[in-house]
Chain A
Amino acid sequence: MNEIEIALFLESGVRLGIPLALAALGETITERSGVINIGLEGSIIAGALGGAVGALAFGDPAVGVMAGALAGVAVAFVFAAFAIGLGTDQIITGTAITLGGLGLTGAVYQARFGATGTALTLPTLPSAPVPLLSDIPWIGGALFDQAPTAYVAYALAPALWYFLFRTAWGLELRAVGEAPIAAHAAGVRVRRVRFLATVFGGGLAGLAGAHLALAHAGTFAEGMSAGRGFIAIAVVVLGRWNPLLVLCAALFFGAASALQFFLQAFGFDAPYQLFLALPYVLTLAALAGWVGRSRAPAALALPWRSE
C-alpha cells in the first residue's frame, strides 16, 4: 500500500461521506426541533432528479444544485404539512413520503427520459481545489480537492453548532425539541419553528441528492439515493445531535463505505454483495457499541397539537 493508494482511499471516503454529511447536518437541525423526518430519503432522491433536470435544462451544474435543493425543500414541505400542520404520526408520514418520493422520481424520470436504460450524461460539478490547503500531505487532496458542495458541509458544521448552542434562535429551537409545552408557554411558536427546521433539513437533503447526481455519479438513476436518507438519520444518532460530531460521523461512514473499493482493489477476495452490506452492518454495530443511551431530544417524534 503506497501513498497514492491511501490518498485515493481517503479521497473516495470523503466523496462518499459528503452527501451523508449534508443530509445528516440538516436532519440534526430538524431533530433538534423535535421532528424526525424519515422522508429524508424522498428529499434526497428528489434533489438528485431536480439537480439532473436543472443542470440539463440550463447546461450549468450550479443551477442544478439550486434546483436540487429546491426539490428537497418541496418534498420536506409536504412532509411538514402533514406531520406538523396536521400532527400526523411522523414515522408513518415520513415512510409514506419516502415511498412517494421514490415512486414519483422514478415515474417522472421514465416519462421524461424514457426507460430505455441508456444512462443520462449530466454536466458535472468539477472539483475545486482550495489553494494551499489541498497541498497538505495525505489529507489535503482528500478533504480540499472536492466539489464545492463539500465545502458547504465543512462550513455548515461549525456554523450550525454555533447557531444551536450560542444563539437565541438556536436555544429556542432546542427548547421546542426538548420541552415544547414550556417553549409554547414562553411565547415560542412551536409549529413554525418545527416547520422551518424541517424545510431547512429538506433543503440540505436535496443538496445531498444534487451532489450525488452532479458531483458523484454524473448521471441520474432510479432509486440512486440507495438508503442514504436512512443512513443519514443513523449518522445523526452517531453524532449525538451535535453538528461537529455529525460531520465526523458522516466522514467516518464514508470511509467505511470506501473500504469496499479499497479491499477489492487489493484483491481481498470477498463477494461484493457483502461489501455492499458492510456500511449498514457497521452502522448497526456503531449504534449498539457506541451510542449507548445518549439522549435524543426529549420531544422527538411527538406531534405538537395543543394550540
Chain B
Amino acid sequence: MAKDVRARVGVGVVAVGATALIGAVLLWWGGYDPQVAAGAMFRGSFGSWNTFASITLVRSVPLILTGLAVSLAFRAGVWNIGAEGQLYAGAIAAVWVGLRGATLPALILVPAVLMAATLGGAAWAMVPALMRLRLGIGEVITTILMNFVGIYLAAYMVHGPLQESRGVFPQTDRLVEAARLPILVPSTRLHLGFALALLLAAGLAVLLRRSTFGFQLRAVGASPEAARVAGRIRTGRVVLASFLVSGGIAGIAGGVEISGLTYALYEGLSPGWGYTAIAVALLGALDPIGVVVAGVFFGALQAGAGAMQREAGVPAAWVGVVEASVILTVLALARLRAVGRRGGS
C-alpha cells in the first residue's frame, strides 16, 4: 500500500515537472521570457499569505469539489464529463433558494442553499444516468450535451426569471447575509467552503475505503461483469448512486461558489472548472486526498496564470494547454508503468 502511494506521488511529481518543462518551452517559443512569466506566476499564487489564502485557496475550492465529483464517478466506471453542467444546475438551485428564503435565519438558510445545490447537481446527473441505464446510451456524450444545456439555462435565468431587480446587468440579486458562507480566515476571502471541501474529501476517503457502498463502487468500476456475477452486486443501482453522488458534489461546487464568494449568479460563473476537474482527478490519482492536493495545485496555477497575463502579457488561455499536458503525462506514465510491470510485453 505504501509503495502504491509512493508510486502515485511519483507519477504526480513527474507529471508536474514535465508540464513545467513543456510550459517553459511553449512560453519561450511564444516569444515570452519564461523567467519573468514564472516569477509572475509564483507571486500571483504563493507571493504572500493573503495571495495564497484569498486567491490560490479560494480558486482551489470549486476545483477540489468538482475534482472529487469526477474522481468518484471515474472510480465507479462512470464517465461523468458533465461536472460543468451539474455545477451550473447546483448554482441555479442555490441562488434560487437563497433569494427565496431571504427572511430565514442563517442556521437554516445556509444548509438549505447547500442542499438545493446538491439536489440541483444530482438532478442534472439523473438525466444521463437514466439514459445509460434505461436506454443503453453512453454517458460521455450525454453528460457533455447536458453541460451546454446547463450553461445556457443559467444564461437564460440571469437574463430572465432570476435577473436582478434593477434589471440592468445579466446577473441575479445578491444573496442576503444569512445565505452566505462565513469567512474562514479573517481579513482574507477564504470562506467556509474550503473547510467543507476538506471535510467532504475526508468523508469520501472513508466511504471509499471502509463502507460497503465504497467497496461495491470500486468493484463495479474495476469490472462490472465480475461485480455482478461473483460479487452479486446490483451494478445498475451502484452506477445510479455513483452518478447521483458525483452530480451532487459538482452541484455543491456551484452552490459554494455562489454562497461563499460571488453572492450572485452570472453568466460564465465557471471558466470550465468541470473540465479542469478531470485533470485534477487524474493528477490526484482518483483518490480524495490526492484530489485535495491536486486541486490546490491547479488553484495556484489558475491564480498564477492571472498574474502572468497581467504582468508578463501571457494569455491565460495557456492554462488549457497546461491542463492537457498534465492529463496526458499522467495517462502516459500510467501506461508505461503498466507495460513495464508486464515485463515490457
The answer to whether B149 and A271 have CB atoms under 8 Å apart is: no
Classify the interface of chain B: helix, strand, loop or mixed: helix
Would you call A87 an interface residue if the criterion is a C-beta within 8 Å of the partner chain's C-beta atoms?
yes
The answer to whether A284 and B145 have CB atoms under 8 Å apart is: yes
Stretch at the interface among B39-47, B151-159, B213-221, B232-240: B151-159
Distance, CA A288 to CA B131, complexed state (A): 7
Would you call A276 an interface residue if the criterion is a C-beta within 8 Å of the partner chain's C-beta atoms?
yes
Would you call A88 an interface residue if the criterion is a C-beta within 8 Å of the partner chain's C-beta atoms?
yes
Would you call B324 an interface residue if the criterion is a C-beta within 8 Å of the partner chain's C-beta atoms?
yes
Q: How far is the CB of A261 from chain B (nearest CB, A)?
A: 16
B residues less than 8 Å from A92 (CB atoms) = 278, 282, 327, 331
Partner of A230 from B31, B141, B272, B336 at Cβ < 8 Å: B141
Q: How far is the CB of A296 from chain B (nearest CB, A)?
A: 8
The answer to whether B141 and A99 have CB atoms under 8 Å apart is: no
B residues less than 8 Å from A227 (CB atoms) = 144, 148
Would you call A106 an interface residue if the criterion is a C-beta within 8 Å of the partner chain's C-beta atoms?
yes
Most buried by A among B30, B31, B324, B325: B324
Distance, CA A88 to CA B324, complexed state (A): 14
Classify the interface of chain A: helix, strand, loop or mixed: helix
Would you call A281 an interface residue if the criterion is a C-beta within 8 Å of the partner chain's C-beta atoms?
yes
Stretch at the interface among A107-115, A159-167, A187-195, A204-212: A107-115
We find that the number of chain B residues with CB closer than 8 angstroms to chain A is: 48
A residues less than 8 Å from B322 (CB atoms) = 103
Would you call B100 an interface residue if the criterion is a C-beta within 8 Å of the partner chain's C-beta atoms?
no
Known: A277-B156, A280-B148. Contact between A293 and B320, CB under 8 A? no
Residue of A nearest to B85 (CB): A280
The answer to whether A103 and B145 have CB atoms under 8 Å apart is: no
A residues less than 8 Å from B135 (CB atoms) = 287-288, 291-293
Known: A88-B335, A222-B317, A287-B137. Contact between A95 and B155, CB under 8 A? no
Would you call A58 an interface residue if the criterion is a C-beta within 8 Å of the partner chain's C-beta atoms?
no
Q: How far is the CB of A122 from chain B (nearest CB, A)?
A: 20
Known: A233-B141, A288-B137. Contact between A88 and B320, CB under 8 A? no
Restricting to A53-110, which residues have a CB under 8 Å from any CB of B?
A: 82, 86-89, 91-93, 95-108, 110
The answer to whether B335 and A87 have CB atoms under 8 Å apart is: yes
The answer to whether B328 and A99 have CB atoms under 8 Å apart is: no
Residues of chain A at the chain B interface (Cβ within 8 Å) = 36, 38, 82, 86-89, 91-93, 95-108, 110-111, 115, 222, 227, 230-231, 233-234, 237, 271, 273-274, 276-277, 280-281, 283-284, 287-288, 291-293, 296
In the complex, besides A101-B324, A110-B315, A280-B149, 12 extra interface pairs with C-beta distance below 8 angstroms are A87-B335, A91-B79, A91-B81, A91-B140, A96-B327, A99-B320, A107-B321, A271-B159, A273-B152, A273-B160, A277-B152, A280-B152
> 5 closest pairs, A vs B, by CB?
A103-B320, A100-B324, A106-B317, A277-B152, A96-B327
5 A–B pairs (Cβ distance < 8 Å), ordered by A: A89-B331, A104-B321, A108-B30, A234-B141, A271-B160
Residues of chain B at the chain A interface (Cβ within 8 Å) = 30-31, 79, 81, 127, 131, 135-138, 140-142, 144-146, 148-149, 152-153, 155-156, 159-160, 272, 275-276, 278-279, 282, 314-315, 317-325, 327-328, 331-332, 334-336
